[in-house]
Every structure is written in C-alpha cells, then in structure tokens.
Amino acid sequence: MYVTHFGLKEKPFNVTPDPRFLFATKETEEALACLTYGVMDRRGFIELTGEVGTGKTTILNIFLDWLRDSKIPAAFVFNPRLDLLEFLDYVLTDFGLQCESLTKGQKLSRLNQWLLQRYKANETAVLIIDEAQCLSMELLEEIRLLTNLETQTEKLLQIVLCGQPELEEKLRDPRLRQLRQRITLRCRTRALTAEETHNYVSSRLAKAGREGNSLFSPEAIAAIHKHSLGVPRLINMLCDHALIAAYVEGSLSVSSSCVDGIAAEFDLCADEAPGGADNQGQEGIASNGDLKT
C-alpha cells in the first residue's frame, strides 16, 4: 500500500523471517558459524536459544539454505507437540525415507541404516527442532537416544535444538542431565542496542530499495528502540504500522509521535525488558566448545 509512496521496491518490515533481510552482526555470523561448524565436525547436539522475536528463525532459515546448497539432508520439525511415533514418522518423511512398520524399533532401524549409508559416503544429516521448549521430557530423552546412532568415533546424526529460554530451564532438570552433557555447542540471540536498531532499520530500508535519507527521524528511531526494546520482530511491527500511518496522513517521513501512537495501540511497555535481555540489549552469542565469543 505504501511502497510506491515512499519510493520502495517492496515492503521492508515484513514480520515473516526473510533471510534476504538479515541484519548481519558479528554475533549473528558467529551463530551461523557455530551451526555450520557443529555439522561439519559432527558434534552431535547444538543448542540455539533466545527470547521471542530476536531472530532465531531467520538464523535457522539461512542455515537451512546453507544445508540445501551443501546438499546435506535436513529434517525440520517446527511443531514439536508430537508423541514418539509421530515424531519418528515426521523425521523419516522429511528425510525422504519410507518405513511401513508401525513399531519404534523398525523406524529407528530404518533411520540407522540410512545414516550408516551416508556415513560410508562421508556424508551426514541434520535434524532441526524449532520451539524445542515445548518438547515433553519423554521425547527429549528419546531424542538424546538418537545420538546413540554413531560409529566408534563420530555421531551419525547432528541435532539442533532451537527454542526460547525455557528450553535452558527444562534442560537443567536432573532427569535430562545426560542430554545436557551431550550439548557441545550453545548459541544465544539477544535484542539489539540503540545503535544497532538504527542500523537495522536503515539496512532493511536500503534492501527494500530506499535511496537517500531515512524515512524515520532520529527521534522516531529512538522511540522505536524504546518501545521495542531492540527486539527485531517488534521493530518490524512498529516500523510497518508507522509507515502505514504516515502514508494515510500523506506524510513522507515518520515522526516519534507517530511511533508513540502505534506503540500505545499495541500496548507496548518500554519498562519491561524481555527475559534474557541485558542492559546492553545486544543481539549476541554465548557458546561453549571450540568457538569463543
């Protein structure tokens, strides 16, 4: 609706995670390096956590693109509310495998045979589970047992657990201590700083075809950061609705009062920081293993 009015080629602030609009920071690149390194080095379990809206899905989409380009098969489970047999059926189907048997043992045997064939060809496979904080304790334990599909020296299946901070809390449960000990690499996303918020908005506008000065005044950018707390998903929502409002008013730029009005409509409170965000509000990575931050 407002694209032509503002001299854009497309909408710059869609809330759907689009890898083309990745705002690359040193921390984001380290997260992607952590995921790719974990797969190439057959590290087994990798954990990616972060608050809602801080870019986890965008990172996963870029990672999936890399896997496809590298011809590494991946099973992507985006709805983890499954029982064990449903979960195994989903994984086998996503890997393109068929198993007519209804038993757990036969399904695991089919998966193991395929993984061994890939290993003999010096290849691997990746299982990615999004919203992993929703996995039941029982299914998490069964997923741990999937890492028993291994040779004497290497894991046959690489598993990425992606979820909100509640995943970390769940993994601290003593019943899951064996799984927690097997996670060799950990990544975390965080919110953006005020400076990064400014650069994030400018970057998305440029990628959408905007030339010249920003559509948002410095005061508007400050208001966006204040109300979004640097969470990219909320930044996108505020910017998109602010552009709509400015278009309706016939304005060629967005003011701070416009942003404040949008924030009030969506009941965004700038005094409540998202869980896991520190005073810096910076999107970052915390990892262990062989990568340092």
Tokens of 222: 């400050």
Give Cβ neighbours of residue 86 (< 8 Å, ≥ 6 apart).
none
3-class DSSP assignment, residue 59: helix
**Burial tier of 75 (Cβ tally within 10 Å: 0-12, 13-18, 19+):** buried
Nearest-angstrom CA–CA distance, 119 and 123: 5
* Residue listed under structure tokens 């998490």: 140
Element (H, E) at 50: strand 45-50
Q: In whole angstroms, how far apart are CA 292 and each of 43, 46, 143, 185, 280?
A: 16, 15, 27, 10, 19
Domain boundaries, the chain: 1-16+193-293, 26-189
pLDDT given at position 269: 63
So what CATH class is 26-189? alpha beta
* pLDDT one-digit tens code per residue, 186-215: 989 999 999 999 999 999 999 999 877 679
Residue 147 banded pLDDT, cuts 50, 70, 90 = confident
Residue 75 vs residue 1, higher pLDDT: 75
Element (H, E) at 60: helix 56-69
* Contact assessment for residue 189 and residue 71, using Cβ atoms and an 8 Å cutoff: no
- Other C-beta atoms lying within 10 Å of the C-beta of residue 142: 17
- Is the domain defined by 1-16+193-293 classed in CATH 1.10.8? yes
- Other C-beta atoms lying within 10 Å of the C-beta of residue 27: 19
For the cut 60, the answer to whether the pLDDT of residue 287 exceeds it is no
Per 3-state DSSP, what percentage of the chain is helix, strand, and coil (rounded to 5)?
50, 10, 40
Amino acid at 164: Q
Q: What is the mean pLDDT of the chain?
A: 87
Amino acid at 6: F
